[in-house]
Amino acid sequence: MEKILNYINGELVEPTSGNYLDNYNPSNGQVYSLVPDSEESDINNAVLAAKEAFNSWSKTPKQERANILMKLADTIEKYSSELIKAESKDNGKPENLAAHVDIPRAPANIRFFAGAILHDSSQMHEMDGVAINYTLRQPVGVAACISPWNLPLYLLTWKIAPALASGNTVVAKPSEITPMTAFMLSKICIEAGLPKGILNIVHGLGSKIGDPLTTHIDTPIISFTGGTVTGKHIARVTAPMFKKVSLELGGKNPNIIFADADFDKAVSTAARAAFTNQGQICLCGSRLFIQEEIYKKFKIALIEKTKKLKVGDPKEISSNLGAIVSKEHMNKILSKIEEAKKLGGKILIGGKRVILDGELKDGYYIEPTIIEGLSSDCDINQTEIFGPVVSLIPFKTEAEVIDMANSTKYGLSASIFTENISKGHRVAANIDSGVVWINTWLLRDLRIPFGGMKQSGVGREGGFKSLDFFTEPKNICVKI
Ligand code: NAD
């Protein structure tokens, strides 16, 4: 069985303990590879390698850093078809989605930040003939980059690209649930000739190697994407060490459909926002607010649309939904659907596990599920489920829907559908979330400040915000 290895100081190495964890293929429920069960000693080795590499990498001219990263991006692209298959097998997502979303974004992330450092500038403040101040932006040191399982290579590269481009070195910890494409990336780094030690990838359980990485004295900067509970823990343990921390956390995103929306566009986008990647995108619209006048018509159209979605073999081009990432997560989603029923929710479509034929009979599939009849403040409508489950909530007025949209502890993203431009802008300005889309969903410009409000995160990543985060500003004051 294939063994995934850690990538430390430019080499593929076994975990020091020699222990491995099972890695599952969610499409058939079978173990298909082994992932290192790393320990503190592996983290220490990786941080040491990164610390040593920092001396030269932080002084490497920007153009040279950009050239090295561009070569890495080219080499990733060379292996696109293998990466697409691997991401789908490891995560359960349709290959078609990995081919259009996940894998193209990996080289795109790297090229974007390799280019961005060549176009960056810093500030100058003149003191009326007395002095000038200028700001140096210098790399911080060894960056700990921790990523989740829902968009494995996409989010890993979203972190390591700006960290490396800015002159930091990195110890990355991908999710133990989807380690395969990070392992493939480490082999690609070797082929691309990435300087030894600038990127290190340590696999293993967050509960075991998370603290040793985030509280290590030589990791002054942490970029984390994952659940709110884990984010709280990281905030708590790192606060006394005064580290720079960026947290990109969970969401319970409202999708607001006004009666004057472009009906067909709103229906198809609402279905996409609810069920893409089996509902396992932090930005998925899982609370669907529909204005009363069109509620019934919209509900019927959404059910019709959902009926046409095929849950099936992730390898087949016709599958719209693949498998849920793990058995534990599938059971959690199913238990939330049961809870919704107990609270009086009516399942309009879906709600059950799907058992596919033959080799895929033990895979983790769930029907796309639409629920109605739950109050906006019940637990199902307040906490993240992170599965193919959307809850319909009618509303009367603009003020009422803004209140309900803002009623959760989260504030990651929102979508508004209306043909009234003024209303769109007005509602967007009043929604507490880091990203608001009007008449669309998941349209991403890599330059925008991306992140969440409230318990959806702290800080922003993307564009120059990422370069700001991964550098330390230093004021130099020169007396004239
Ligand atoms: P998770 O918090 O369980 O794990 C994320 C990563 O943190 C994994 O690599 C895990 O091993 C690691 N980890 C676990 N415990 C740790 C600890 N004590 N210290 C350090 N690292 C630790 O999240 P998940 O289940 O992998 O991902 C799903 C969550 O991620 C959802 O809540 C989703 O909304 C969120 N997410 C947010 C964004 C965003 O941009 N805001 C993007 C994608 C996913």
332 Cβ closer than 6 Å to some ligand 1 atom: no
Residues 45 and 193 in one domain: yes
The residue to mutate among 23, 147, 222, 225, having the most atoms of ligand 1 within 8 angstroms of its beta carbon, is 225
- Which CATH number characterizes residue 214's domain? 3.40.605.10
- What residues make up the domain containing 288? 254-445
Query: What's residue 130's pLDDT?
Result: 97
58 occurs within a structural domain: yes
148 and 266, same domain (yes or no): no
Check residue 89 and give its pLDDT. 98
100: in domain:
yes
CA distance 220 to 232: 18
| Residue 242 shares a structural domain with residue 280 | no
Confidence of residue 55 (pLDDT cuts 50, 70, 90): very high
Burial class (CB in 10 A: 0-12, 13-18, 19+), 90: buried
Q: Do both 197 and 289 map to the same domain?
A: no
- Model pLDDT, residue 219: 98
The alpha helices in 354-453, defined as continuous H runs, are: 398-405, 421-430
Q: Compute, in angstroms, the gap from residue 211 CA to the centroid of ligand 1.
A: 14
Residue 15: the pLDDT is: 98
Provide the number of structural domains found in the chain: 2
pLDDT, tens only, 79-131: 999 999 999 999 999 999 999 999 999 999 999 999 999 999 999 999 999 99
Q: Is the CB–ligand 1 distance for residue 152 below 6 Å?
A: no
User: Per-residue pLDDT averaged across 373-401, rounded?
Assistant: 98
Determine the distance separating the centroid of ligand 1 and the alpha carbon of 397, expressed in angstroms.
36
Residues 182 and 295 reside in one and the same domain? no
**Chain-centre distance of CA 384, in angstroms?**
14
Mean pLDDT of 163-178: 98
Question: Is 366 found in the same domain as 223?
Answer: no
Tell me if 249 sits within 8 A of 355, measured CB to CB: no
The CA 186 to ligand 1 mean position distance, Å, reads 21
Is residue 451 in some structural domain? no
Same domain assignment for residues 229 and 296 = no
- What's the CATH number where 294 sits? 3.40.309.10
Q: Provide the token pair at 408.
A: 């959760």
pLDDT, mean over the chain: 98
Residues 265 and 411 in one domain: yes
Q: Do residues 285 and 398 share a domain?
A: yes
Q: Quick check: is 450 in a domain?
A: no
Q: Are residues 268 and 237 in the same domain?
A: no
Asked whether residue 97 is domain-assigned, the answer is yes
> What's the pLDDT band for 377 if we cut at 50, 70, 90?
very high
Which SS3 state, helix, strand or coil, does residue 436 take?
strand
Rounded Cα distance between 456 and 452, Å, is 5
SS3 content of the chain, % helix, strand, coil (to 5): 40, 25, 35
Q: d(Cα 467, Cα 326) in Å, to the nearest integer?
A: 34
Contact 137, 37 (CB under 8 A): no
pLDDT score recorded for residue 347:
98
pLDDT at 400: 98
Instruction: Please tell me the distance from the alpha carbon of residue 173 to that of residue 12, in angstroms, as a whole number.
Output: 15
Instruction: Please tell me the predicted confidence (pLDDT) of residue 270.
Output: 98
Identify whether residues 435 and 364 lie together within a single domain.
yes
> pLDDT grade, residue 78 (50/70/90)?
very high
Which residues are identified as catalytic? 248, 282
Q: With residue 187 as reference, give the H or E element that holds it.
A: helix 180-192
Backbone angles phi, psi at 79, to 5 degrees: -105, 20
Which pair of structure tokens corresponds to residue 188?
């690609």
Of the pLDDT bands very low, low, confident and very high (cuts 50, 70, 90), residue 155 is very high
CA 454 to CA 40: how far, in whole Å?
A: 32
19 lies in some domain: yes
Position 42 in a domain: yes
Q: Examine the domain organization and report whether 367 and 439 are in the same domain.
A: yes
